[in-house]
Amino acid sequence: MLGNATMPAPVPLPTGEALATLAHELRDPLAAILLALELHSGDGDPPARRTLTMAAHQARRAVRIVDDLFDLCAGSRDSLPLCKEAVELAAVVAGATEATAHLLAARGHRLTVSLPAGPVSLLADPVRLEQVLINLLANAAKFTDRGGDIGLTARAEAGQVVLRVRDNG
C-alpha cells in the first residue's frame, strides 16, 4: 500500500542579522587559514610554493567577499562596492586561469588565452574582475563536452578592454 508522500517544508534562508552573523563568524577561520598559508608560502619546492601562493590569493578573495557580505547585511551598504585601482590585465587573467586550472584539467579541456602583445593597465576592481572571469571559465568548463576547447581573449576597443570567453560546448 502506498501512502501520500509529503514534501518537507523549505528551509528558510538566513537573512539580515543572521546572515551578518554568519559572515562575521567566517572571518576568524579565514584569517587563520590565510595566516597559515602565508607563514608557509616559502616552504617546499616551486610547485608547492605556487600552490600555497594561489591558495593564499583565493583566501584573500574569500575574506573580501565575506567582508562585503557582512557590510551588506549590516546595512552599511546597499550594494557591493567596487574598489577600483590600476590593475594589470595579464595578472587578473593569470589569477582566473590559475583558479580554474584544476576544473579545466579534470574535464580535459584546452584553454587558449589571447591577450594584447603589450601590457594593458585598466582601472578596475581586481577582485570583482577576477571573479567574473572565474565564473565565466568555470561555466564554460562545466557546460562544454569533455575535451573541449575554451578560449579567453582580450582586446582594446574604443578606449575599453573587451574580454570574451568562448567554448565549443
Q: Which residues pair with 88 in a beta bridge?
A: 121
* pTM of the predicted protein model: 0.66
Do 99 and 41 share a structural domain? no
Confirm if 64 and 30 have CB atoms less than 8 A apart: no
Do 98 and 66 share a structural domain? no
Do 92 and 63 share a structural domain? no
How far is it, in rounded angstroms, from Cα 99 to Cα 133?
10
Do 64 and 30 share a structural domain? yes
Do 112 and 43 share a structural domain? no
How far is it, in rounded angstroms, from Cα 154 to Cα 53?
25
Do 105 and 154 share a structural domain? yes
How far is it, in rounded angstroms, from Cα 152 to Cα 123?
20
Last residue of a domain, one of 47, 73, 99: 73
Do 92 and 28 share a structural domain? no
Which cell numbers hold the place of 132? 567574473
Do 57 and 92 share a structural domain? no
Virtual torsion, Cα 29, 33, 39, 44, nearest 10 deg: 160
Last residue of a domain, one of 33, 52, 73: 73
Do 163 and 91 share a structural domain? yes
User: How many distinct structural domains can be found in the chain?
Assistant: 2
Do 90 and 63 share a structural domain? no
Do 23 and 67 share a structural domain? yes
Examine residue 56 and state whether it is found in any structural domain, yes or no.
Answer: yes
Q: What is the pLDDT of residues 120-152, one digit of tens each?
A: 999 999 988 998 999 899 999 999 999 999 999
Domain that holds residue 115: 85-167
Q: What is the pLDDT of residues 46-69, one digit of tens each?
A: 888 888 888 888 888 888 888 777
Strand pairing class (110-114; 121-124): unpaired
Confirm if 62 and 47 have CB atoms less than 8 A apart: no
Q: Give the domain CATH number at 129.
A: 3.30.565.10
Q: What is the pLDDT of residues 59-108, one digit of tens each?
A: 888 888 887 777 777 665 666 677 899 999 999 999 999 989 988 999 99
Examine residue 124 and state whether it is found in any structural domain, yes or no.
Answer: yes
Virtual torsion, Cα 19, 23, 29, 33, nearest 10 deg: 130
* Average predicted confidence (pLDDT) for the chain: 84
What is the structure's pLDDT at 55? Answer: 87
